[in-house]
């Protein structure tokens, strides 16, 4: 245990003395990893500097319970659940029946994902999608 403390102390001291930017997160990551592998010791909760943050705008919107879809996107998604939505493209030869069924399947999966998150997609075209707790 003393070896790890010495290494971390040396790295931090050299970084502070040399005024070079050091990714402290990297040091903490390897320190925690070393404690786990060498001594089978780990934190109950991951240190704040190692927590995974939202990587995309979508993740940030979900975390902040912000609008994920516009009315137009919601209406498009709900329309794509119905086979009638694809009949013109099938008649024109732009789309096969199999492709239409696959698109319907994908739309159902997307709708289910939103509903599992608690995001409501009302059937009425003029209503905006909303979070369940906003009712």
Element (H, E) at 120: strand 119-120
104, 80 contact by CB (below 8 A): yes
pLDDT tens digits, one per residue of 50-59? 555 555 666 6
At residue 17, does pLDDT exceed 60? Answer: no
- Helix, strand, or coil (residue 131): strand
10 touches 27 (CB < 8 A) = no
Global confidence as pTM: 0.53
Q: Is the pLDDT of residue 130 over 70?
A: yes
Considering just the CA atoms, what is the radius of gyration of the chain in Å?
A: 25
């Amino acid at each position: 245990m003393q070896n790890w403390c010495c290494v971390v102390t040396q790295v931090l001291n050299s970084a502070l003395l040399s005024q070079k930017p050091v990714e402290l997160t990297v040091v903490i990551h390897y320190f925690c990893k070393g404690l786990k592998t060498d001594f089978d010791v780990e934190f109950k909760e991951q240190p704040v500097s190692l927590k995974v943050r939202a990587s995309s705008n979508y993740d940030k919107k979900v975390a902040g319970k912000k609008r994920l879809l516009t009315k137009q996107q919601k209406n498009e998604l709900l329309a794509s659940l119905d086979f009638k939505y694809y009949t013109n493209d099938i008649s024109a030869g732009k789309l096969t029946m199999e492709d239409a069924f696959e698109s319907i399947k994908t739309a159902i999966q997307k709708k289910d994902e939103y509903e599992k998150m608690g995001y409501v997609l009302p059937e009425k075209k003029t209503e905006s999608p909303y979070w369940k707790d906003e009712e």
